[in-house]
Amino acid sequence: MLSREDFVSRFGGVFEHSPFIAERAYDAGSVTEPLTASGVHVALAAAFRAASREERLGVLRAHPDLAGRLAISGELTEDSRKEQSGAGLDRLSPAEHARFTELNSAYVEKYGFPFIIAVKGLGKEDILEAFETRIGNGRDEEFATATAQVEKIALLRLTSMLPEAQ
């Protein structure tokens, strides 16, 4: 079994800049061998769901804006960079970039955290459509949607890191 330090080192970034999720999953004894994407995801998601609303809000706020300032300056985490690039968000026209910037600002102002969506398999048009739809949601509905998307992103990241059980 991985030590706590090794587990947190390996999986502490699965929930964006939130190693406390991996620490709590490990400490709860919910991590079992062999490590599989779904098994680790269950443990991490349980720790995330058990966190206070304020802590979960902190996890949401740790996510970067889509096609935002961090992407432009090259300061995204490697996972976020790959995810956004795969969706074409690094190749936006000036008009598309302006629309993302406008939506990002309006969304953060309304909800207090950035728009979060698991972009794998989506194109920029799909993301814009979801953005424009979800910005009409109520605060509690959008908090629930964003936290579900964070868990989906975590599973996608784990799937690229670990095998599934045979």
Tens-digit pLDDT profile for residues 9-60: 999 999 989 999 999 999 999 999 899 999 999 999 999 999 999 999 999 9
pLDDT at 115: 95
- By annotation, the residues acting in catalysis are 63
The residue among 15 and 84 whose pLDDT is bigger is: 15
Q: What are the domain boundaries of the chain?
A: 64-149
Rounded to an integer, what distance in angstroms lies between the CA atom of residue 5 and that of residue 42?
Answer: 19
DSSP designation for 68: S
pLDDT at 78: 76
| CA torsion, ordered 138, 130, 16, 143, to nearest 10 deg | 10
pLDDT at 76: 59
Rounded to an integer, what distance in angstroms lies between the CA atom of residue 88 and that of residue 79?
Answer: 14
Give the pLDDT mean for 66-86. Answer: 67
Which CATH code for domain 64-149? 1.10.3330.10
Give the pLDDT mean for 141-158. Answer: 96
* pLDDT tops 60 at residue 72: no
pLDDT at 64: 79
Residue ranges of alpha helices (H) inside the chain are 4-11, 19-27, 37-50, 53-61, 69-73, 78-86, 94-111, 124-134, 139-161
pLDDT at 163: 78
**Whole-structure pTM value:** 0.89
Q: How far is CA 39 from CA 49, 100, 165, in A?
A: 16, 35, 9
Residue 11: which region, alpha, beta or left (left: phi > 0; alpha: psi -120 to 50)? alpha
pLDDT in tens, 89-146: 778 888 988 998 899 999 999 999 999 999 889 988 999 999 999 999 999 999 999 9
The model's confidence at residue 165, banded by pLDDT at 50, 70 and 90, is low
The residue among 66 and 74 whose pLDDT is bigger is: 66
